[in-house]
Amino acid sequence: MIRKALVSLAALAATLSPAAHAESGWHLLNMTQGVTDISRKIYSLHMLIFWVCVIIGIVVFGVMIYSLLKFRKSQGAVADTTMVHNTKVEVVWTVIPVAILVAMAVPAANTLVQLEDTRNTELTIKVTGYQWGWQYDYLDNGVVFFSRLTREADAARRMGSGVDVTKIEHYLRDVDNPLIIPVDTKVRLLVTATDVIHAWWVPELAIKKDAIPGYVNEMWFKVDADKAGTYRGQCVELCGRDHGFMPIVTKAVSKEEFQTWLKTTAAAQKQASAPQQPAAAPAVANAG
Ligand SMILES: [Cu+2]
């Protein structure tokens, strides 16, 4: 009996251990702490406001429940119909919430200002949303590419494809060409769209902005030097039929690795586009 209980306890412990279920646990209900300085500031802000709300909830509901029980009719309580206005109480219940709101607004405004501060960026990438994928344009380096849902997942998602999607790793959360970004670098993203409104969001980078045709939105992030890795996101603006099938994948690599990748990709893209130039030139001449 005891042995049986111990065995089931061990089994339970195994399923709850982080190794067995890296993608489960109570922390998934909360915001991610992210991999940037700003993301941690946003997380602390979120936790601060959360606990302020918890305390307010406990105090308000505590007083309410206490009053309901203490002053109930069966205990002989008689309603005071003469008390319709009390200046002192009204001042108190106005001043206290105002003070709480101001106290919360100060750190919130501070973080918001930092979030919008795109000065001194070291790399600019233009992000264009389209139905249904993303285009990344490394403005200073001439590297441009499309990023779309992996062909494997795209085929599997079709009705009657017969594919067991649970066998596909990162199903609907993986792309053919991830956005490659360097760590420890202030990267600015210019976000726009070609057709309808999309929105670019990667929770770990703590950035989320609408991609609107005709507008350019700005955001920035700086991944910690020791936080190289793959961070996933998705389009978060309902943009049409395949809105759920345009994931975002960012791959943060070391600065050196990034420079090498950028150089090789730029060279490869230049070479790939080179033969098209002579063919395009006569067309322009004919038109003139
Ligand atoms: Cu979209």
Span from the CA of 158 to the centroid of ligand 1 (angstroms): 19
Q: What is the pLDDT of residue 12?
A: 46
Question: What pLDDT, on the 0 to 100 scale, is given for residue 25?
Answer: 82
Which pLDDT does position 2 carry in this prediction?
53
What distance in angstroms lies between residue 152's CA and the mean position of ligand 1's atoms?
20
8 domain-assigned: no
**Same structural domain for residues 61 and 193?**
no
The confidence band for 182, taking pLDDT boundaries of 50, 70 and 90, is very high
User: What is the tally of structural domains in the chain?
Assistant: 2
Instruction: Return the exposure string of 210-224: e unless at least 16 CB atoms fall within 10 Å of the residue's CB, then b.
Output: bbbeeeebebbbbbe
94 and 135, same domain (yes or no): no
Count of CB atoms within 10 A of residue 86's CB? 10
Residues 104 and 149 reside in one and the same domain: no
Who contacts 205 (Cβ-Cβ below 8 Å, separation ≥6)? 34, 35, 36, 39, 221, 223, 231, 233, 250
In a domain, 58, yes or no: yes
Q: How confident is the model at residue 78 (pLDDT cuts 50, 70, 90)?
A: confident
- 258, pLDDT greater than 80: yes
Cα(211) to centroid(ligand 1), Å? 8
> Do 106 and 127 fall into the same domain?
no
pLDDT tens digits for 60-75? 999 999 999 999 999 8
| Ligand 1 center from residue 201 Cα (angstroms) | 11
Give residue 133 CA to ligand 1 midpoint distance, Å. 7
Is residue 276 domain-resident? Answer: no
Ligand 1: centre distance to CA 175 (Å): 14
Query: Is the pLDDT at 82 greater than 60, yes or no?
Result: yes
Span from the CA of 131 to the centroid of ligand 1 (angstroms) = 6
Q: Is 287 part of a structural domain of the chain?
A: no
Same domain, 135 and 249: yes
Alpha carbon of 4 to ligand 1 centroid (Å):
52
What is the domain range of residue 48? 37-77+86-116
Residue 153 CA to ligand 1 center (angstroms) comes to: 17
- When pLDDT is averaged across residues 166-173 and rounded to a whole number, the result is 91
The CATH number linked to 93 is: 1.10.287.90
Taking a C-beta distance cutoff of 8 angstroms, is the pair 186, 222 a contact? yes
Q: Is 35 exposed, middle or buried (0-12, 13-18, 19+ CB in 10 A)?
A: buried
Same domain, 263 and 140: yes
pLDDT at res. 3? 56
Mean pLDDT over the full length of the chain = 87
266 C-alpha to ligand 1 centroid (Å): 27
The total number of residues written for the chain in this structure: 288
Q: What is the pLDDT of residues 190-223, one digit of tens each?
A: 999 999 999 999 999 999 999 999 999 999 999 9
Question: What is the structure's pLDDT at 16?
Answer: 44
pLDDT of the residue at 8: 52
Q: Per-residue pLDDT for 274 more than 90?
A: no
User: How far, in Å, is the centroid of ligand 1 from the Cα of 155?
Assistant: 19
Ligand 1 centroid distance, CA of 235 (Å): 5
* Residues facing residue 133 across a β-bridge: 130
For residues 252 and 191, membership in a common domain is answered with: yes
Distance 255 CA to ligand 1 centre (A): 30
Tell me the pTM: 0.79
* Mean pLDDT within 266-278: 78
Mean pLDDT over 130-154 rounds to 94
Check which CATH number belongs to the domain holding 152 and give it: 2.60.40.420
pLDDT for 248 equals 97
In angstroms, rounded to a whole number, what is the distance separating the alpha carbons of residues 206 and 219?
10
CA of 25 to the centre of ligand 1 (A): 29
Ligand 1 centroid to 204 CA: how many Å? Answer: 19
Claim to verify: residue 110 and residue 136 sit in the same structural domain:
no
